[in-house]
A = this chain, B = another copy of it.
Amino acid sequence: MTGEKRIAGIELGGTKIVCGIATGAGDVLQRTSIPTRGPEETLIDIKNWLEPRLDDTIGVGIATFGPVYVDPASPRYGHIGATPKTAWRDFDLLRAIREWTELPLVLDTDVNAAALAEIRWGAANGHRNVVYVTVGTGIGGGIVSNGRAVHGLMHPEIGHMKPRRLPDDDLDGMCPFHGDCFEGLAAGPAIGTRWGKPLNELPADHPAYAMEADYLGQLAVNLLLTASPTKLIFGGGVMKCTELLPMIRDAAARHLNGYLDFAALGIGLEELIVTPGLESNAGLLGAAALVIDAS
């Protein structure tokens, strides 16, 4: 029965917006992609595409870049927070969509939504404690605990924790807030600035890989020791370098130094730390998952 429902989804990313109609079975029936510009003009494009397609849908899921206020009890619910995309700062995203539809609206971060979609249809199917990390122009993460996305004061912002710096890394770090946090040292812009090229244009034995894997391995350890997931998914543009994933597992094992007894737990790092099961539709399906989970 769930499979027959139709759900509208909006995935707001820093460079593009994906809108679509999905089914409860995780099939994408229609989709479009819109370049991200200022909020007013972008929202007009979203409305023009989506509004005529809402007739048979049960709700609109919105999976957005953060920071965003996700607490429905907050007067700022649905507002974008202090993003580097300054035109979007304080923009009341939820209200802008509410202007043209009475359907239920459910909003969360893109990464919390992706974690829920991976649980429903992807690499974490059936799991209840899952972390989804994206490594791209930034580093973000969604956390699902006991089957529900983690919210509270805000939402997870895992990319702004700080790793131990590697001694041979002299990059100051690219984060405007923290310099050398995980995002500042290991997201795409840090790789590009440090080595002059993106990772996928460097050979797999280039020291860039070992450094990237070490930082992401440290991040994996922090996540295993806080959220205690049974699936830890690494996605995003940087992870398209497929050599990286096994190196991250090795780095995580090195930093854990035997503290988690994987033999006793009956699981290996190969099962625990994985890449996404959903490809380019992950964000859109994440938006749909928000509506299904709330209905």
A257 in complex: contacting residue of B177, B228, B258, B259, CB < 8 Å: B177
- State the number of copies, please: 2
Instruction: Judge whether A145 is part of the interface by a CB distance below 8 angstroms.
Output: yes
Chain B residues with Cβ below 8 Å from A272 are 153
**Interface presence of A241 (CB below 8 A):** no
- Proximity string of chain A (5-40) to chain B, C-beta cutoff 8 Å, 1 when within and 0 when not: 000000000000000000000000000000000000
Residues of B close to A258: CB separation below 8 A: 177
Known: A129-B150, A264-B76. A225 touches B156 (CB 8 A): yes
Q: Determine if A216 is an interface residue (Cβ-Cβ < 8 Å).
A: no
Report the minimal beta-carbon distance from A217 to chain B, rounded to whole angstroms: 12
Query: Scoring A residues 229 to 269 as 1 if CB is less than 8 Å from chain B, else 0, what string do you get?
Result: 11000000000000000000000000111111100111100
Q: Are A146 and B148 in contact (CB under 8 A)?
A: yes
Complexed CA–CA distance, A148 and B150 (Å) = 11
Q: Which of B150, B221, B267 contacts A227 (CB 8 A)?
A: B150
Answer yes or no: A218 CB below 8 A from chain B CBs: yes
Contact B259 A160 (CB under 8 A): yes
**Quick one: given A145-B146, A154-B228, A227-B150, are A259 and B178 in contact (CB under 8 Å)?**
yes
Residue of B nearest to A224 (CB): B153
Residue of chain B at shortest CB distance from A159: B225
- On whether the beta carbons of A228 and B150 are closer than 8 Å, the reply is yes
Number of interface residues of A (CB under 8 A): 51
Q: Please name all residues of chain B whose beta carbon is closer than 8 Å to the beta carbon of A266 when the two chains form the complex.
A: 74
Contact between chains at A156 and B226 (CB < 8 Å): yes
Please indicate the chain B residues that have their CB under 8 angstroms from the CB of A81 in the complex: 261, 264
Task: Report the separation of the CA atoms of residues A163 and B166 in the bound assembly, to the nearest whole angstrom.
Answer: 14
> Which residues of A in the span 171-215 have a Cβ within 8 Å of any Cβ on B?
177-178
A239 to B265, CA, bound (A): 33
Q: How far is the CA of A148 from the CA of B255 in the complex (A)?
A: 29
A3 is an interface residue with CB less than 8 A from chain B: no
Closest Cβ neighbor of A177 among chain B residues:
B259
Quick one: given A145-B146, A162-B218, A164-B164, are A153 and B226 in contact (CB under 8 Å)?
no
Nearest residue (CB) in B for A222 is B161
Contact B145 A148 (CB under 8 A): yes
- B152 x A230 contact (CB < 8 A): yes
Does A82 sit within 8 A of B, measured CB to CB? Answer: yes
Cα distance A221–B163 in the bound complex, in angstroms: 12
| 9 A-B contact pairs sorted by A residue (CB < 8 Å) | A69-B264, A129-B151, A150-B226, A150-B227, A153-B260, A154-B265, A157-B225, A177-B256, A222-B226
